[in-house]
Amino acid sequence: MPSSRQKPQGENSTRVGNRVRPSGAQLRLGFLPLVDAAPLLVAREFGLFARHGLDVVLFKEVGWATIKEKIAYGELDGAHAPAGMAFAMKLGLQGLPCEVMTSFVLNLNGNAITLSSSLWKKGVRDAAGLKQLILSHRSERLVFATVSLVSSHHFLLRKWLLSAEIDPDRDVRIAVIPPSQMASNLKAGLLAGYCVGEPWNSVSVLRGNGWCPATSLDLAKGHVEKVLLLRSDYPARHPNEHAALLGALNEACIFCDAEENRVAVAEVLEATCFKGMKEALLNSLAGGFERGGDGSKTQENLHSFYHNETNRPSLAKAVWVLEELKSAGLLPRDFKDLKALASSVFREDLFDKTMKNLPEPKASRKSLAHAA
């Protein structure tokens, strides 16, 4: 449980689930070990949270279901989470409704589809080739995996399959498993492929167990990926803490996005979550993303942490998520008031209010290291 430090005089406390968290107490944030958790880890390792007056404790979780439950029951104050989870929790799509929101997007893009090397050996080179294989082996229903039915990974996998008229609900099976289990299940022959965030595509590629026919950049360039997920009443209850949190993450995202810092980002990730996996981390962070198969590379950055309004929780980003939830059959096709729901969860107003009052951020490795 979080620290029960005395509540600062004049501040409000927040009841979250079965627990009351005083303003100024430890801020408990969850994350999954993924490359796009880098802003949280960089903010901690370079002392950005502390410099903004925050006492943040990060909790590494196993899967998105755990993140969802711990936010709902107050064991976490917030988390690094798929954008679709915010709407799923708000609407109660996978359980009881929970009032949540986001005022900060952590990254765009960063995913890929990985297929097993056995499919490459059978002549599959793209979705069309997979379709031909499925037609010739109708008795065998291939199993693919995604990390959550409400995440962009599921949306991208469906989009890729549908591009070759493969029905994701009839022609294949789609399982949900944690990101860290994707590569091992592919190697064991339990999966034909998966869609996941990095570094779990690179792990299969570099070990020779898989190859990537498509990435986020091919399927939905600029799509919103992870957000800072918080309870809806958090910014009003703790306005100063909320502003400090966005300030620290803003600096961390600037740092993570700079080309000259990408090796340093990989070093932070390796030291905190991915021992001995620096090569896999660098495959998507620096030097072009090696896809495997024919040896081709994606030259454009697979991850966007800051540039081109990455961090803004805009209406357009929110509507994209809701439209994809509809396309996947998770929302009724005639669901109305998308914009009203979008703006109630993606709080662009809070983002703008906070950002205009932030001091000039430090972005260089030297300045962040000095601040730490």
Instruction: Name the band, by pLDDT with cuts 50, 70 and 90, for residue 12.
Output: very low
**Are residues 365 and 264 in contact, defined by beta-carbon separation less than 8 angstroms?**
yes
Instruction: Name the band, by pLDDT with cuts 50, 70 and 90, for residue 283.
Output: very high
State how far the alpha carbon of 13 is from the alpha carbons of 5, 22, 236, in Å.
Answer: 12, 4, 11
Q: What is the mean pLDDT of the chain?
A: 91
Instruction: Name the band, by pLDDT with cuts 50, 70 and 90, for residue 357.
Output: confident
* 243 Cβ contact partners less than 8 Å away, ≥ 6 residues apart: 354, 357, 358
Structural fold of domain 13-107+225-257+305-371: D-Maltodextrin-Binding Protein; domain 2 (3.40.190)
Instruction: Name the band, by pLDDT with cuts 50, 70 and 90, for residue 362.
Output: low
Average pLDDT estimate for 243-268 = 97
Residue 8 confidence (pLDDT): 28
Residue 5 confidence (pLDDT): 29
**Are residues 25 and 2 in contact, defined by beta-carbon separation less than 8 angstroms?**
yes
pLDDT at 11 over 50: no
- Higher per-residue confidence, 200 vs 366: 200
The string of DSSP codes covering 246-282 is HHHHHHHHHHHHSGGGHHHHHHHHHHHT-TT-HHHHH
Average pLDDT estimate for 169-186 = 97
Across 8-12, 51-55, 70-74, least confident range:
8-12
Nearest to 253 by CA among 242, 241, 265: 265
**Are residues 266 and 285 in contact, defined by beta-carbon separation less than 8 angstroms?**
yes
Nearest to 35 by CA among 268, 313, 369: 268
Instruction: Name the band, by pLDDT with cuts 50, 70 and 90, for residue 21.
Output: low
Residue 367 confidence (pLDDT): 53
pLDDT at 141 over 60: yes
The pLDDT > 70 percentage for the chain reads: 91
Structural fold of domain 111-220: D-Maltodextrin-Binding Protein; domain 2 (3.40.190)
Residue 372 confidence (pLDDT): 44
Provide the total of helices (H) and of strands (E) in the chain, helices listed first: 18, 16
- Higher per-residue confidence, 6 vs 304: 304
Shared fold status for 13-107+225-257+305-371 and 111-220: yes
pLDDT at 24 over 70: no
The pLDDT > 90 percentage for the chain reads: 83
Across 14-28, 91-105, 114-128, 206-220, least confident range:
14-28
Across 37-46, 299-308, 325-334, least confident range:
325-334
In the chain, what are the domain boundaries? 13-107+225-257+305-371, 111-220
Residue 7 confidence (pLDDT): 31
